[in-house]
Amino acid sequence: MNSANINQQANSLKTNLKLILEENQKLAEQIDFIQLAAVIPYLHQADRLFIIGAGRTGLALKAAAMRLMHFGFTVFVAGETTTPAIRKGDLLIAGSGSGTTSTIVKAAEKAVSSGAEVIAFSTTTDSALARLAALTLVIPAAQKQDHGKTISEQYAGSLFEQALLLLTDTIFQTMWAVDGTAAQELWKRHANLE
């Protein structure tokens, strides 16, 4: 690749990073932070936390699961072989942009029928998942099948997935600031079989 092509790609990379950051900033200005704050008591009141999401949404929620574990919560990722049965007193944190992903909705149905509560991260409150959830945090991003680029220039559900990671990190950061546990204490829970 010649230097002209490298420079062109470098400029394109810079432009696209700026686009992604600007879209996340615009989304952040639309978040209902009272609604986001309402998530925290659910976390503290739950006996155990269970996380479920599909695809990149699931990956973002796995990152959240790790941070919540670092904070001292008992956290399980649905679908992993060592995940126990959900029960009364537990909380399922479910992510689905559309709120209609069948595996996520079925897990929420199972959680509710077992006496657990559900918190949903979605783009809408008008969905099967939202109807099952005690709380639905609306992330005003495009759904994965919204190809019109009216909400986001990014592909599929990228903005939703990015915002989900940022918002769950925001929840962690906020709880950590209030709790005041030293980083060295949290580090003791960090994986050491890497």
Q: Which residues does the annotation mark as catalytic?
A: 161
Burial class of residue 133 (count of CB atoms within 10 Å of its CB; 0-12, 13-18, 19+): buried
Amino acid identity of 185? E
Nearest 5°: phi and psi at 44?
A: -70, -30
- Judged by phi (left if over 0) then psi (alpha if -120 to 50, else beta), residue 121 lies in beta
Amino acid identity of 136? T
Tell me the CA distances in angstroms from 97 to 22, 108, 178, 190, one per residue in order: 20, 15, 30, 30
Q: In angstroms, how far is CA 39 from the centroid of its own chain?
A: 12
Annotate 142-170 with DSSP letters as a single string. Answer: --TT--S-SS-SSSTTHHHHHHHHHHHHH
Tell me the CA distances in angstroms from 150 to 48, 64, 65, 138, 177, one per residue in order: 39, 28, 31, 17, 36
